């Protein structure tokens, strides 16, 4: 008996307490779930607004040509696309694969959308590929060529988006000076690039650049091997686009745009 003369059953008390807590949690579920989902930061919840998409529809992509010096004092004429006027945001350099060109970044509205978001997107026709409008010549060292092209375009530590064949340009460029890579590029978006097997695990681990590895769920060609190699980069995040193939950025452009946008918000200034 308790001092008051009433017998207290501890099991009953615990049961009542458990029920009470359960009712409180149930009634306040949305608040508890918000607290428990704290890891879902504002960046992770971000969507590209309809206002931005509407603005993108009003922007015109312009095509230009520029000459870039290559080996033996020669020059190559390069076609590129951008949107003017430039607003001063982060530069983004879009490369392309063997079957594509800068025009495909226009067709997917990528250039217009990221310009509407306040960035400075530039897409180039590399001197290789069946759809390129640039001069097709052997530029020699492709990493060095890309460095000269970035300088000619007056890009400031651009984020480099590199699908498939363009890996033969972007990877040599980034590995030219791993220690100072942050002064050369603010971020790297490889999409199943070629030539990833040319570098050792130790080499990858020395390249401390913010990276978003993107690959298509149905890519049975270069994607699996390149993804395995690129995961050795110390500062990487991994994005598989469901239902997409080797050209994941083109198969599912909306998903790719969101991946790139979130990456830019989180990893670049």
Q: What is the pLDDT of residue 71?
A: 80
For 215-228, letters b (16+ CB in 10 Å) and e give bbeebeebbeebbe
Would you call 219 a catalytic residue per the annotation? yes
| pLDDT of residue 235 exceeding 70 | yes
Q: Which residues pair with 159 in a beta bridge?
A: 92, 187
pLDDT of residue 35: 38
The one catalytic residue in 115, 168, 226, 246 is 246
Q: How far, in Å, are 20, 48, 50, 267 from residue 259 at the CA level?
A: 43, 10, 17, 12
Which of 101, 164, 170, 185 is an active site residue?
Answer: 164
Residue 197 clears pLDDT 50, i.e. is over it: yes
Measured over the CA atoms of residue 195, residue 197, residue 201 and residue 202, the dihedral's sign is negative
pLDDT band at 72; cut points 50, 70, 90:
confident
> How far, in Å, CA of 117 to CA of 77, rounded?
30
Distance of CA 95 to the CA centre of its chain: 12
The full set of domain ranges for the chain reads 1-38, 45-267
Supply the pTM of this predicted model. Answer: 0.83
Instruction: State how far the Cα of 76 lies from the Cα of 78, in Å rounded to an integer.
Output: 6
Check if 42 is active-site.
no
Is 64 among the residues known to form the active site? no
Structure-model confidence comparison of residues 9 and 217, the more confident one? 217
Q: How confident is the model at residue 82 (pLDDT cuts 50, 70, 90)?
A: very high
119-137 average pLDDT score: 95
Share of the chain above pLDDT 70, in %: 83
Catalytic residue among 219, 226, 239, 251: 219
Pairing verdict, β 236-241 and 75-82? unpaired
Pairing of strands 62-69, 75-82: antiparallel
Query: CATH assignment of 45-267, given 3.20.20.140, 1.10.730.10, 3.40.50.2020, 3.40.50.1820?
Result: 3.40.50.1820
């Amino acid at each position: 008996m308790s001092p008051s003369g009433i017998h207290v059953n501890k099991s009953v008390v615990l049961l009542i307490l458990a029920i009470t807590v359960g009712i409180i949690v149930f009634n306040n579920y949305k608040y508890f779930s918000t607290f428990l989902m704290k890891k879902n930061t504002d960046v992770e919840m971000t969507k590209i607004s309809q206002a931005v998409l509407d603005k993108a529809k009003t922007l015109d992509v312009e095509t230009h040509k520029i000459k870039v010096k290559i080996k033996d004092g020669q020059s190559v004429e390069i076609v590129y696309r951008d949107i003017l006027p430039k607003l001063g945001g982060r530069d983004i350099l879009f490369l392309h694969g063997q079957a594509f060109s800068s025009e495909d970044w226009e067709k997917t509205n990528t250039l217009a959308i990221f310009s509407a978001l306040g960035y400075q997107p530039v897409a180039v026709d590399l001197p290789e590929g069946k759809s390129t409008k640039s001069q097709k010549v052997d530029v020699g060292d492709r990493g060095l060529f890309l460095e000269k092209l970035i300088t000619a375009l007056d890009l400031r530590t651009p984020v480099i988006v590199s699908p498939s064949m363009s890996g033969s340009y972007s990877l040599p460029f980034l590995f030219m000076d791993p220690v100072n890579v942050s002064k050369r590029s603010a971020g790297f978006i490889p999409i199943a690039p070629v030539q990833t097997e040319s570098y050792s695990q130790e080499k990858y681990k020395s390249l401390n650049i913010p990276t978003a590895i993107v690959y298509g769920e149905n890519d049975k060609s270069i994607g699996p091997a390149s993804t395995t190699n690129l995961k050795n980069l110390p500062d990487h995040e991994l994005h598989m686009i469901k239902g997409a193939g080797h050209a994941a950025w083109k198969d599912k452009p909306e998903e790719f745009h969101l991946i790139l946008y979130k990456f830019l918000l989180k990893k670049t200034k």
